[in-house]
């Protein structure tokens, strides 16, 4: 063998030896690492308890930060919340084939206008929204397209799980979650505060009561072909609103038309002449001032002429009436003569104390001022005494009636549960801790008398259709002609009933109103407060009474029956 061949063979052997030595190190390290893993797995499986680790993982409290705070009813039922709702946007400069891209988008979102989307894809702008509030399925399909110019932006959508229920109280937000009405707008500082993300806003509303009120009003509205309806349930001791309904209403989850009729909250927005419900205030102020006594008799034998005006009674008795009879039989003549005895100045001061000259107090925007007489002379004083010539909102009437029956304290209405920790003072709302802290408008003695008179008006007056066995309902009907083009219309009327139960220990005020109801055969073609609105209140009371824990009682004596000639 040649020396050259020996040299080559030696070189190969040396190279193989070097390679073998280099492989030994990584192989050794690999075997060592694998051995460590095996030892560790065996150690965990045989000697360590992983239950503590599992508990630790599950006990972590993840704080979810929402764009807006949840709104709950008084019992914790969700009324407004936020849900993930991604938006589809586009960066037009990253789109290479607009025609192909738009075809793919329309295939996923067929409700979109193709030309509109195409124009956005070809736009010279940097960023444009194509569609908001995508469903999870739509998000998956858009992602599957794989176009870099399409962007799925994470966002939240405000959702109202109850639909139309309580829509006028809640209000709504726009596409950018900016509040436009209701408590959404009034408490926006609280609801949009990220620090309070997990601190829901508790309203005073009870969704069970709200549902019943809406259902009964809707039934009556359809039955009497009424133009609109409104209803309130209020706690007389706290001012808490358990239900507030205005019909027609709207769904905050759908398309909103701000100027549409269904957007009006008739409980606070539109003042009405409330009719005979105002006689409650007239009799209360006269008794409280000492100008009249319950046993006094008022001359209602003939219509009352004042200047060029003549005041009639709808259900004339044509005789002298006791004060309980004036109220029970709803005598316009009697109320006018009582107001004359009281005097204009005292009447105005009393109604002002009741809040009848200012906007109603509640945590909502869009509240209307009452419409007062331009000139408050003798005839105006008399018509105001029976609820004509002065227009107030339903909430004015409800708050005033609550003060008359709760012992004489004017407690402002509130939509916030009283035991919540919301700082209402920062929103300009009073936050007295006890009912005795609120201003007194009549004496407790007068309040007690008025409870019995209101009970008599249901037992023997026009409010009989509001009776509910065992619940001692009291109240007053109201029927007022609407002003159309500056003239009272005999065909277009507002009919209402404001009631309280139970009258021996008042807990709740119930208000029901129908706008322009039409008489039907079952009511002998009458659509007054007694025939149209009082039955609605009765139905509401019969359903919510047991729910709210009001125990029925029988044989509760009503005073002053001896001052009423029932059959005459």
**Cα distance between the two ends of the chain:** 151
- Dihedral pair phi/psi, residue 217, rounded to 5°: -65, -40
CA 289 to chain centre: 37
pLDDT of residue 2: 53
The verdict on whether omega for the bond into residue 370 sits within 30 degrees of 0, i.e. cis, is no
For 113, the 3-state DSSP assignment is coil
CA distance 264 to 272: 14
**Residue showing tokens 């009283």:** 418
Please list, in sequence order, all residues whose beta carbon lies within 8 angstroms of the beta carbon of residue 226, skipping any fewer than 6 positions away. Answer: 220, 514, 515, 516, 517, 518, 532
CA distances from 467 to 211, 224, 244, 520 (A): 21, 20, 22, 21
CA distance 439 to 409: 6
Pair of tokens at residue 292 = 């009249």
CA distance 376 to 383: 10
DSSP state for residue 506 in the 8-state scheme: -
CA distance 357 to 397: 12
**What b/e sequence results for 391-400 when a residue is b if at least 16 CB atoms lie within 10 Å of its CB, and e otherwise?**
bbbbbbbbbb
Answer for the pair 499, 466: CB distance below 8 angstroms, yes or no: yes
Answer for the pair 257, 225: CB distance below 8 angstroms, yes or no: no
Our answer to whether residue 276 is catalytic in this structure is yes
CA distance 411 to 427: 17
CA distance 301 to 318: 4
Answer for the pair 389, 333: CB distance below 8 angstroms, yes or no: no
Give the pLDDT of the chain (568 residues) as one tens digit per residue: 555 454 545 555 665 666 566 667 666 666 666 676 676 666 655 555 544 443 333 434 444 556 799 999 999 999 999 998 899 999 999 998 999 999 999 999 999 999 999 999 999 899 999 998 888 899 999 999 988 889 998 888 999 999 999 999 999 999 888 999 999 999 999 999 888 878 999 999 999 999 999 999 999 999 999 999 999 999 999 999 999 999 999 999 988 888 899 999 999 998 999 999 999 999 999 999 999 999 999 999 999 999 889 999 988 999 999 999 999 999 999 999 999 999 999 999 999 999 999 999 999 998 999 999 999 999 999 999 999 999 999 999 999 999 999 999 999 999 999 987 665 555 455 555 566 789 999 999 999 999 999 999 999 999 999 999 999 999 999 999 888 877 888 889 999 999 999 998 999 999 999 999 999 999 999 999 999 999 999 999 999 999 999 998 877 777 777 777 654 4
Q: How many residues does the chain have?
A: 568
For 128, the 3-state DSSP assignment is strand
Answer for the pair 79, 71: CB distance below 8 angstroms, yes or no: yes
Pair of tokens at residue 333 = 């003549």
Please list, in sequence order, all residues whose beta carbon lies within 8 angstroms of the beta carbon of residue 393, skipping any fewer than 6 positions away. Answer: 266, 267, 268, 269, 270, 271, 272, 360, 367, 368, 370
Pick from 140, 25, 147, 31: nearest CA to 89: 147
Pair of tokens at residue 148 = 């870099």
DSSP assignment string, 305-332: EETTEEE--TT---EEEEHHHHHHTT-H
- Dihedral pair phi/psi, residue 282, rounded to 5°: -65, -50
* R_g over Cα of the chain: 36
Catalytic residue among 276, 331, 381, 447: 276
């Amino acid at each position: 063998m040649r020396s050259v061949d020996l040299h080559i063979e030696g070189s190969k052997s040396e190279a193989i030896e070097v390679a073998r030595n280099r492989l030994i190190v990584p192989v050794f390290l690999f075997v060592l690492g694998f051995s460590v893993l095996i030892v560790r797995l065996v150690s965990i499986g045989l000697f360590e308890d992983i239950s503590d680790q599992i508990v630790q993982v599950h006990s972590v409290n993840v704080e979810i930060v929402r764009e807006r705070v949840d709104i709950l009813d008084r019992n914790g039922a969700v009324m407004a919340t936020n849900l993930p709702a991604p938006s589809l946007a586009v960066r037009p400069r990253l789109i290479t084939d607009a025609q192909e891209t738009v075809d793919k988008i329309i295939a996923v979102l067929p409700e979109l206008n193709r030309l509109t989307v195409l124009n956005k894809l070809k736009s010279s702008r940097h960023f444009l929204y194509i569609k908001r509030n995508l469903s999870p399925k739509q998000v998956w399909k858009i992602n599957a397209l794989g176009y870099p110019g399409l962007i799925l932006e994470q966002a939240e959508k405000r959702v109202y799980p109850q639909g139309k229920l309580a829509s006028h109280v809640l209000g709504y937000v726009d596409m950018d979650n900016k509040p436009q009405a209701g408590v959404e707008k009034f408490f926006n500082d609280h609801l949009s505060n990220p620090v309070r993300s997990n601190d829901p806003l508790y309203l005073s509303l009870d969704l069970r009561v709200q549902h019943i009120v809406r259902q009964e009003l809707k039934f009556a509205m359809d039955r009497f072909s009424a133009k609109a309806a409104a209803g309130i349930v209020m706690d007389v001791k706290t001012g808490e609103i358990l239900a507030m309904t205005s019909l027609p209403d709207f769904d905050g989850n759908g398309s909103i038309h701000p100027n549409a009729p269904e957007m009006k909250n008739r409980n606070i927005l539109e003042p009405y002449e409330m009719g005979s419900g105002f006689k409650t205030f007239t009799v209360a102020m006269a008794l409280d001032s000492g100008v009249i006594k319950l046993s006094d008799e008022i001359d209602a034998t003939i219509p009352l002429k004042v200047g060029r005006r003549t005041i009639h009674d709808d259900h004339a008795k044509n005789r002298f009436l006791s004060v309980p009879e004036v109220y029970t039989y709803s005598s316009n003549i009697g109320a006018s003569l009582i107001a004359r005895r009281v005097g204009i100045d005292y009447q105005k001061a009393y109604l002002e104390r009741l809040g009848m000259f200012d906007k109603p107090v509640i945590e909502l925007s869009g509240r209307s001022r009452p419409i007062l007489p331009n000139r408050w002379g003798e005839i105006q004083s008399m018509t105001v005494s029976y609820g004509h010539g002065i227009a107030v909102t339903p909430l004015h009437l409800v708050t005033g009636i609550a003060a008359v029956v709760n012992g004489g304290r004017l407690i402002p209405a509130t939509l916030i549960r009283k035991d919540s920790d919301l700082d209402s003072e920062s929103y300009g709302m009073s936050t007295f801790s006890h009912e005795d802290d609120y201003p007194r408008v009549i004496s407790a003695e007068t309040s007690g008398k008025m409870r019995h008179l209101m009970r008599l008006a249901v037992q023997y007056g026009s409010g009989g259709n509001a009776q509910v066995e065992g619940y001692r309902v009291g109240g007053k009907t109201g029927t007022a002609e609407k002003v159309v083009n500056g003239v009272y219309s005999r065909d277009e009327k507002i009919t209402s009933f404001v009631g309280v139960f139970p009258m021996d220990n008042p807990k709740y005020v119930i208000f029901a109103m129908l706008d322009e109801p039409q008489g039907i055969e079952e009511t002998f073609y009458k659509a007054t407060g007694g025939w149209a609105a009082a039955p609605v209140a009765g139905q509401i009371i019969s359903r919510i009474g047991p729910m709210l824990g009001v125990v029925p009682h029988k044989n509760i004596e009503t005073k002053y029956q001896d001052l009423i000639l029932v059959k005459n």
